[in-house]
């Protein structure tokens, strides 16, 4: 009887795995077909405009603004990769490590670099493959294990054993994983607009709306075509993410200036600059769900209610995975780009969380 039960369990796991991967590949094909139609439509309207790209040889002045901090580099001994980061605040102060999302880079934390440098050594990192950080060619170099190890090694290289860890979007995913795998490295965890990874994988399989909102996860599984689609029409898709009515920063928010937007386009228009960031997504389905998933450190989750990519219900469910103090704050009428759209509110909420005493749940 026990042997039969084990066989049925293995069969169930196998069937679920087959259904999962069938869903992944079918949706990949559907997304590719939709984007191919968009490409053909764009070419039909104006082929010259579709393939137009403006040469950008020099970075916008805002990327070298001294008020944001100092540009630094660190080479990791084991991987051999050189990481770029911008640091503000005195050495020796507690470390605040900032992990950006997609399609972003260290500059998405400009408001926080200025705000928290009075009491912290604030480090805004370019993740593996982004910006001025080295970008390995092969997709296998972007597995979640590699990304987690990067953060651990960077902390060691900076001379710290622990930090306040803040992550947004994909950086939030990595922040959750660091807190799960290396809780001793994190004093407090702050995540912006990304649920616990297990909540995400479970929710997306049960709710078609989230499957639609996360279509880019599936589209990015296809080689080279996503990079090409991002680059057509002089990176119109990139501009659209930050400025459109559906996905962009809200009308009441702190909108990106022309120079801010140009900074993003400059970084991602460099040769090969899109492959590394998109490769982060090309390993995700083989790494989730997690075997170990409980978070045991004080956690603040900030969420923009108008997030075009994440259902707000996932934020509520996340608390079951945090076996410590947990606070969720949902900001109404705010988009996915929370720390850029409402920096004053976000900074105030972070200060409050950092200064309050947090007591572990029984």
284 within domain boundaries = yes
- B/e letters for 5-17, b = 16+ CB within 10 Å, e = fewer, are eeeeeeeeeeeee
Per-residue pLDDT of 223-239, as tens digits, reads 999 999 999 999 999 99
pLDDT at position 14 is: 67
pLDDT at position 215 is: 87
Per-residue pLDDT of 114-165, as tens digits, reads 999 999 999 999 999 999 999 999 999 999 999 999 999 999 999 999 999 9
Residues comprising the chain, all counted: 362
Domain containing 150 equals 23-356
Contacts of 311 (CB under 8 A, 6+ apart): 203, 207, 209, 210, 213
Per-residue pLDDT of 173-182, as tens digits, reads 999 999 999 9
15 within domain boundaries = no
361 within domain boundaries = no
* 8 A C-beta contact, residue 335 and residue 341: yes
223 within domain boundaries = yes
12 within domain boundaries = no
Per-residue pLDDT of 340-355, as tens digits, reads 999 999 999 999 999 9
Could you give the CA distance from residue 300 to residue 324 in angstroms, rounded to a whole number?
11
Q: What does pLDDT average to over the chain?
A: 91
* 8 A C-beta contact, residue 96 and residue 116: yes
In the chain, what is the straight-line distance between the N-terminal and C-terminal CA atoms, in Å?
Answer: 39
pLDDT at position 358 is: 61
pLDDT at position 19 is: 66
3 within domain boundaries = no
- B/e letters for 280-304, b = 16+ CB within 10 Å, e = fewer, are bbbbbbeeeebeeeebbbbbbbbbb
Per-residue pLDDT of 18-46, as tens digits, reads 666 676 678 778 877 888 888 888 898 88
Could you give the CA distance from residue 89 to residue 86 in angstroms, rounded to a whole number?
10
263 within domain boundaries = yes
**What φ, ψ does residue 301 adopt, rounded to 5°?**
-115, 120
**Strands (DSSP E) along 70-147, which ranges?**
70-75, 82-88, 95-99, 121-125
Number of domains in the chain: 1
2 within domain boundaries = no
Could you give the CA distance from residue 146 to residue 140 in angstroms, rounded to a whole number?
9
Strand partners of residue 86: 71, 124
Q: What CATH number did the domain enclosing 293 receive?
A: 3.40.50.1820
* 8 A C-beta contact, residue 337 and residue 242: yes
Q: Which residues are catalytic?
A: 169, 281, 336
Contacts of 114 (CB under 8 A, 6+ apart): 67, 68, 88
Q: Annotate 173-192 with DSSP letters as a single string.
A: HHHHHHHHH-GGGEEEEEEE
Contacts of 323 (CB under 8 A, 6+ apart): 294, 295, 296, 360, 361
Q: Is the pLDDT of residue 213 over 70?
A: yes
pLDDT at position 359 is: 56
The model's pTM is 0.92
């Amino acid at each position: 009887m026990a042997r039969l039960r084990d066989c049925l369990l293995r069969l169930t796991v196998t069937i679920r795995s087959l259904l999962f991967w069938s869903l992944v590949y079918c949706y990949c094909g559907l997304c590719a077909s939709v984007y191919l139609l968009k490409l053909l439509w764009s070419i039909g309207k104006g082929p010259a405009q579709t393939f137009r790209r403006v040469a950008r040889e020099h970075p916008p002045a805002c990327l070298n603004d001294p008020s944001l901090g100092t540009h630094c580099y660190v080479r990791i001994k084991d991987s051999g990769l050189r990481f770029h980061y911008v640091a503000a605040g005195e050495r020796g102060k507690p470390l605040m490590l900032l992990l950006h999302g997609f399609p972003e880079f260290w500059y998405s934390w400009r408001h926080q670099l200025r705000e928290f440098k009075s009491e912290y050594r604030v480090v805004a990192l370019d993740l593996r493959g982004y910006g001025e950080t080295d970008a390995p060619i092969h997709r296998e170099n972007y597995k979640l294990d590699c990304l987690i190890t990067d953060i651990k090694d960077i902390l060691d290289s900076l001379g710290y054993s622990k930090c306040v860890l803040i992550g947004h979007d994909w950086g939030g995913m990595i922040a959750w994983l660091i807190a799960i795998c290396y809780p001793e490295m994190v004093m407090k965890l702050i995540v912006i607009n990304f649920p616990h990874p297990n909540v995400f994988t479970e929710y997306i399989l049960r709710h078609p709306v989230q499957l639609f909102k996360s279509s880019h996860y599936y589209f990015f599984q296809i080689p080279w075509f996503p990079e090409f689609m991002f680059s057509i029409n002089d990176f119109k898709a990139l501009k659209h993410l930050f400025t459109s009515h559906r996905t962009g920063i809200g009308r009441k928010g702190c909108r990106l200036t022309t120079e801010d937007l140009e900074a993003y386009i400059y970084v991602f228009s460099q040769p090969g600059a899109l492959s590394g960031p998109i490769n982060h997504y090309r390993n995700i389905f083989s790494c989730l769900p997690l075997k170990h998933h409980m978070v045991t450190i004080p956690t603040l989750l900030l969420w923009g209610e108008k997030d075009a990519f994440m259902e707000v219900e996932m934020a509520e469910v996340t608390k079951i995975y945090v076996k410590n103090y947990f606070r969720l704050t949902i900001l109404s009428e705010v988009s996915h780009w929370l720390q850029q759209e409402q920096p004053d509110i976000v900074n105030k909420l972070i200060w409050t969380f950092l200064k309050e005493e947090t007591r572990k749940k029984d």
